[in-house]
Amino acid sequence: MNNMQPSAALILLIQLSLHTVDEGSAINPSCSCIRFSSLLEKPRGTVSSPDYPRPYPRPLCLLYTFIAQPHQIVELVFTDFNIYREHLDCTGGDYVKVYSEVVAGPGPPAVNDNSKYSRVLCGNRNDIPPAIYSHGSALILELSSGEKSSNATGFIGTFKFIDRSDFEMDGTRVPHSRCDFVFSSHSSKPREGKFYSPNYPSSYPEHSRCYYHFNARKHERVKLVFEESFLQKGDESCLNRADTIKVFDGKVASAPVIAILCNEVVGYEILSTGHDVLVEFIARSKVAGQGFKAKYQFQEDDDSVEGAITIDGTSIGPAVRAATSSCDQIFRSHKSNSGKLMSPLYPSPYPPNTHCHYNFVARGRQRVRLVFEDFSLQRITGNIIDCESMDSLDVFLNVDGRLEKMGSFCGGEVPKAIMSNGPKLAVEFRGAYSSRQSRGFKISYYFVEDYGITGGKQLMEFPCAFVYNSSVRARGVVVSPNHPGLYPRDTECNYFFHAKKGQKVHLHFTHFDVEGVHPCESVSASDYVEFSNEIKSTRTSRHCGQLKDLKIVSSKDFFRITFRSNDRLDGTGFKANYIFLKDSEMNIIKMAASACDWSQIFSLTIWLLILIRHLIF
């Protein structure tokens, strides 16, 4: 190995016993090769850079070749990764190139300067995929380091050869299609199965467009769970993403959109309103992600099957249905879109040692909204409020495929309204103590499609999008989802403002409370509100935190607001007044405001302008 220090070569040979070390000329004549093969009856193992965990040698060119059997693919997981990065695109510094599409033939697979690599890796563990897979039965890594010194320690990981049949879909391919599949419910077939993006678990091919059709029977609904979806990294709006997954609540792409997935998602659940679902997967980016794996289930439209929810490892769905007590209930959107939820004996004190579970199950685009009307639980005296040690109401959301406590409420302060982040929400009431003053609680619940947003026209081609058109209404109010309550987690909503020619939209935010710290990015786990004068634009202005008297004016006759929340924290969102004005009209307001009380003149002038418009038109 001409370019490796003796210590590095010795350590590497010890670590890689039972594997073949070749002198290769795949990339250049000085590049050494290490081969791992499942034919040596070792289906898994460890791989590392030379001298790990000490800094790797310089200069270095090393190839790692993994050869599986024809029915297998290669899985590689880095448990530690630290490769010197000079630029974000891994150019100019050290790198690891991944060749996942090499073909294993009669001889050892090889790559050269003209070979196409799938991705290039550098930086640390957070900058690389959770796992890397080959397309076929061979995978090659190229580790290259330059002369520039650094303290980068390289990598260590595990590899294994897995059976490709583990990722076969249960549907039927549409004839003459590249990646379209049909999944139909029949009495003679299992009612559940799996489906994947093309080539999964390896990266999907560029310029892909795939359709997955799910057809249930009349007495069934379709449930989808995207167990893992890795398209692109980051927290960009789905409007700006080249690769997307769209889920339609029907047979065709003109049906209402239930969900759009474009980033990294785990355990995202969807339940149809009817018997059919269409999933559209589009990949337009130059750098493909790993894709998605998902499972489907044709559920009987029956309470005994649908909507089971688990808290602390105990399924409470079917058990709740069987109970006759009003203390344990399931509320389903197809039974009633709204109703009241009250503690036992309300408004009289609830009995001591009360323990209740309430489950809410929505369908399609719906979210669960809880509005607290009365709240009075027994409070243990003391200055510190600890809901764990007193009577409390806990709210659970589905996060990353599991129920996670969103909040715990106790005492006598009425909680803010709550909205689910998906089709399910669970409430647990623990009333251990009670007293004569403990009335309990009264909650109004709603299954809503409009996210609690009024004033605009909701679009069907997005899960949460609204249009505000000056030809329909010249002024109004725009709010975040569920305002003035807590906005839902894992939610993106878009607001599109269309002005007449020559007009601009003026926004005055009277309330702004969005969790995050500037510059409002994913590294700080920030939610954000984004402004843009384009429908799709990477050049946007982001805002988060608690802001006062924020005023925004569009530069064109189109304006977009994008609200995006993650799965971490909650805020009360925003409320803004908007008005469509020509520059000449705004100048009149400014002139009047400079002479008198601005707020009064502004309001009066707006009404005069609106009156004049009506008289003219």
Token representation of residue 474: 């010249």
Among 167-171, 534-538, 554-558, 576-580, the minimum mean pLDDT is found in 534-538
- Which residue shows structure tokens 């790559």? 111
DSSP letters for 494-548: EEEEEPPTTEEEEEEEEEEEE---TT--GGGT--EEEEESSSS-S--EEE-EE-S
Could you tell me how far CA 323 lies from the centroid of its own chain? 35
What percentage of the chain exceeds 70 in pLDDT? Answer: 84
Residue 436 is predicted with a pLDDT of 85
Check if the beta carbon of residue 340 is closer than 8 Å to that of residue 442: yes
Q: What mean pLDDT do residues 107-111 have?
A: 77
Mean pLDDT of 300-306: 58
Measured distance CA(181)–CA(190) in Å, rounded = 16
Q: Are 257 and 247 in contact (CB under 8 A)?
A: yes
Residues 141-191: pLDDT tens digits? 999 998 888 999 999 999 999 999 999 998 999 999 999 999 999 988 889
End-to-end CA distance of the chain: 84
Phi and psi at 187, nearest 5°, equal -65, -25
Report the mean per-residue pLDDT for the chain: 85
Give 25's pLDDT tier (boundaries 50, 70, 90).
Answer: very low
Q: Mean pLDDT, to the nearest integer, of 388-411?
A: 91
* In the predicted structure, residue 317 carries a pLDDT above the cut 80: no
| The predicted structure's pLDDT at residue 225 | 96
Q: What angle do CA 463, 468, 471 make, to 5 degrees?
A: 140
Quick one: pLDDT band at residue 540, thresholds 50, 70, 90? confident
511 and 590 in contact (C-beta within 8 Å)?
Answer: no
What CA–CA distance (Å, rounded) separates 105 from 21? 19
CA distances to 42, 53, 69, 143 from 18, rounded to whole Å, are: 9, 22, 17, 21
- pLDDT at position 206: 84
Torsion of CA 101, 104, 109, 115, to 10 degrees: -30
pLDDT, residue 592, reads 58
Give pLDDT tens digits for 374-393. Answer: 999 988 766 667 888 899 99
Please check whether residue 403 is in contact with residue 415, taking contact to mean a CB–CB distance below 8 angstroms: no
pLDDT confidence of 616, banded at 50, 70, 90?
A: very low
pLDDT at 427: 97
Rounded to an integer, the average pLDDT of 446-459 is 94
pLDDT score at 384: 64
Residues contacting 314, CB < 8 A, separation 6+: none
What is the distance of C-alpha 299 from the center of its chain?
A: 24
Region of 466 on the Ramachandran plot (φ > 0 left; ψ -120 to 50 alpha; else beta) = beta
Q: Please report which helix (H) or strand (E) contains residue 330, including its range.
A: strand 329-332
Taking each helix axis from N to C end, the angle separating 583-595 and 598-616, rounded to the nearest 10 degrees, works out to: 140
Predicted confidence (pLDDT) at residue 50 exceeds the cutoff of 50: yes
CA dist 599 to 52, 145, 582, Å? 67, 64, 19
**Looking at 282-291, 533-542, 592-601, which range is the least confident one?**
592-601
Q: Which domains does the chain have, with CATH numbers?
A: 6-165 (2.60.120.290), 168-300 (2.60.120.290), 310-448 (2.60.120.290), 457-616 (2.60.120.290)
pLDDT digits (tens, 9 = 90+) for 182-223: 999 998 888 999 999 999 998 898 889 999 999 999 999 999
pLDDT in tens, 437-452: 899 999 999 999 999 9
Rounded to whole angstroms, how far apart are CA atoms 236 and 221? 32
Q: What is the mean pLDDT of residues 13-37?
A: 53
